[in-house]
Structure 1
Amino acid sequence: MKLPSSRRELPLGTPSAAPRGDRALTRRAVAVALAVVLGTFVAATVAIAAIDRSTRDAIAPGVRVAGIDVGGLTADAAAARLRARLADYRPRLELVGPHLVERIDVHRRLRWRPDVGAMVDEALVRSRAGGPVGRALRRLTGERLAVDLPLRSVWSHQALRQLVGAVAQRVDVPPRDAQLLLPSMQRVAERRGVRVERERLAARIERALASGSRGAVRVPVRSERPRVTLADLPARWPLLIVVDRSSFTLRLYDHLRLVRSYPVAIGAVGYETPAGLYRIQSKAVNPVWHVPNRPWAGKLAGKVIPPGPDNPIKARWLGFYDGAGIHGTDAVGSIGSRASHGCVRMRIPDVIDLYERVPVGTPIYIGG
């Protein structure tokens, strides 16, 4: 007869429960591991922070500024080294343009100097790249950054504007319009102008100064066209009267082409026909004569003489300046001489012919 067992059998496939002692050991092991990991992390963080604090004001090894090694130096030491090495540095600024080659003393003319503070600040920023972990790893492994930062500089912008203005004064050539020389009627060709593009020149100089460039700076210019060319001259002078006092001749031009030439008399010595460029201001047929109130007029001064034998102004009148004008005369013998009191005398048929050809506003040049 089989006695009943005191052990209870578990169904097939059911795991047996771990002893209480084993579970406690497992929990302690996990806690210890976590504590070790956390301690290591804290220690590493503290160490990284300590390393980072110790290098906060130091420039990373391998950093160069304007070709000068400042790696491993503090900001103050790096600034001192840069000042010493750049004390005698002179950027070469040469301006080259039309009829201009000039070397500029940037220290004297532009008050240029290296911007040491900006260069050191930039070196520190680059040195702190990668965050605390990256910086600590570089410190522990001895890794170099291999960074070469450019020269930074400052200058007077007012002095730069003055320099650009001085260059423009030397280089600028205003365009010249085609001209008609009177009374010779010689035509002078136009000429294109040259003007410095001041904003572009200032920008080019600033780039050269900022980089410490030693190359030449070309002065940018633009060509300026004249307003009047030789081809334009005839249209600008559709009609023109030219009185040449030296040859006692009046010439009429149509678009600068000679149309007629007339002999004339001009003002006597002391009563010269006024030289200059004028325009026909008034026209009259068989005009009355308003006698000027001048000593030479004698008893007629201030009077009005109607057309007739007592009126020396015959047939036609073309006034051009302050009582002076072109008129006909029956004193034909005076033609070709200095005989009038300032007017231009013409033979009667000639003045009638001229009168019909020119309107009010026609330019008249008197010279010679």
Structure 2
Amino acid sequence: MGRKSWIAVITIVVLVLGAVGAAYAYDSSHKDEIAQGITIGDVDVGGLTVAQAEAKLRRQLVDPLRESLVVKFDGDSWRLDGEKLKIHADLEPAIAEALERSQEGGVPGRLARYVSGDEIEESIQPQISFSGGAINRFVRHVAAEINREPENASVEPASDSLEIVSGHEGRKLRDNLLTEELSAAVLGGGNRKIKARVHATEPEVTKREIAARYPSYLTLDRANFKLRLWQGLKLTKTYTVAVGQEGLETPEGLYEIQVKEENPIWHVPESDWAGDLAGETIPPGPSNPIKARWMAIYEGAGIHGTEEVESLGSAASHGCVRMAIADVEELYDMVEVGTPIFIG
């Protein structure tokens, strides 16, 4: 081999060794970097060192997870402070896995990627934990604010009228769904504002159904001495009655018929007005002023018949409601024990 040939060979060897050395030197300077294309928790960490990757992950992944969560409903909002979530992200194993994947293929594989620009398509999910108890307590608080029991339709009585009050739906927070959505928001790091959703709960009694609950209802207008019978909440009868005199007024308020008796015995109350009869028991007959029927409503007061028809339309009794005998017999058959009576 001539001298020129040797020089050419040596030159080629030197160039090859130089190129190999340069390649190894380049690889050595980049071997602690994470390969392009690798993400951790959807954060691109390609080309970063361990320290750089950790800093970027804390800034772009962990810090957003510590932001407060907000639940909104019908113009109201509730906030769960991020610090109460106690977010913990175990980044070291994820970064170590990313670095290990970056070393695959050894020096030749890494050099090939450096030259070709190929990437390792790898998505690594770090272990992230948070306080589930904090979310559960928060959801219970929101539920207490949102939940509302349904209200049945009801009757608002007055001395001469009955008003039907409409009921309304209740609502119940879909608490399991909200817990899931909040947990997903914590880990997802996306939208931290969640709209609460509810179930509607129907009342047991609607406005259409309320009348069936009241086959009979009584109202007493003491000022005008009128006792009214309502059936199915519609006025069917109006009676002229006597009510309690001054000092012995028929009691005001909402009561119900407690007892019904035909031809009742009179248990004379221990009251001054009863005189010598106080505490006595008077059987049916001429000396018993409680005629024909008795419907007790409150502490000795009740509705009964009277022969003193001239007292009707006045305040003449000792607290009871007096009716004509024919009227009280008619009314007796149209009401049951438990029938409400509003005295106004």
Length, aligned pairs only = 307
Match of 2:343 in 1: 367
Task: Identify if the C-alpha distance between structure 1 residues 333 and 127 changes in structure 2 by more than 3 Å, giving closer, same or farther.
Answer: farther
Match of 1:282 in 2: 260
Taking the aligned partners of 1:317 and 1:239, their CA distance within structure 2 comes to 17
Letter in 2 for 1:217: I
Can you give the 5+ residue segments of structure 1 that lack an aligned partner in the other structure?
1-50
Structure 1 residue 305: deviation in Å? 1.8
Q: 2:81 aligns with which of 106, 120, 127?
A: 106
Structure 1 residue 103: deviation in Å? 6.5
Task: Identify if the C-alpha distance between structure 1 residues 91 and 362 changes in structure 2 by more than 3 Å, giving closer, same or farther.
Answer: closer
Alignment deviations for residues 96-135 of structure 1 (CA, whole Å, 9 cap, x no partner): 32233x3735324x3353x331x442343355459x8646
Q: 1:163 aligns with which of 114, 138, 145?
A: 138
SS at match of 1:199: helix
Match of 1:145 in 2: 120
Alignment deviations for residues 10-68 of structure 1 (CA, whole Å, 9 cap, x no partner): xxxxxxxxxxxxxxxxxxxxxxxxxxxxxxxxxxxxxxxxx9xxx8x985554333525
* 8 Å contact from structure 1 (residues 282, 319) kept in 2: yes
Match of 2:169 in 1: 192
Match of 2:155 in 1: 180
* Structure with the greater alpha carbon radius of gyration: 1
Alignment deviations for residues 206-260 of structure 1 (CA, whole Å, 9 cap, x no partner): 1111111135322121111111011111211112222233432211122122221
Taking the aligned partners of 1:150 and 1:212, their CA distance within structure 2 comes to 13
Taking the aligned partners of 2:274 and 2:260, their CA distance within structure 1 comes to 22
Q: CA RMSD in A?
A: 3.2
* 8 Å contact from structure 1 (residues 180, 188) kept in 2: yes
Task: Identify if the C-alpha distance between structure 1 residues 126 and 133 changes in structure 2 by more than 3 Å, giving closer, same or farther.
Answer: closer
Does residue 125 (structure 1) correspond to residue 101 (structure 2)? The answer is no
Match of 1:245 in 2: 222
Alignment deviations for residues 155-203 of structure 1 (CA, whole Å, 9 cap, x no partner): 3222212221222233223222111111331011121122211111111
Does residue 313 (structure 1) correspond to residue 313 (structure 2)? The answer is no
Q: Which moved more, 1:204-213 or 1:306-315?
A: 306-315
Q: 2:73 aligns with which of 57, 75, 97?
A: 97
Taking the aligned partners of 2:241 and 2:143, their CA distance within structure 1 comes to 51
What is the TM-score of this pair, normalised by structure 1?
A: 0.72
What is the TM-score of this pair, normalised by structure 2?
A: 0.76
Match of 2:299 in 1: 322
Match of 1:207 in 2: 184
* 8 Å contact from structure 1 (residues 182, 367) kept in 2: no
Match of 1:67 in 2: 43
Structure 1 residue 300: deviation in Å? 0.7
Match of 1:116 in 2: 89
Taking the aligned partners of 1:255 and 1:179, their CA distance within structure 2 comes to 13
Alignment deviations for residues 280-319 of structure 1 (CA, whole Å, 9 cap, x no partner): 412212x221111233322111111233332221222222
SS at match of 1:357: coil
Match of 2:327 in 1: 350
Can you give the 5+ residue segments of structure 2 that lack an aligned partner in the other structure?
1-26
Letter in 2 for 1:164: V
Match of 1:23 in 2: none
Taking the aligned partners of 1:145 and 1:268, their CA distance within structure 2 comes to 100
**Which residues of 2 match residues 28-39 of structure 1 at below 5 A?**
none
Taking the aligned partners of 1:186 and 1:135, their CA distance within structure 2 comes to 88
SS at match of 1:226: coil
Letter in 1 for 2:254: G
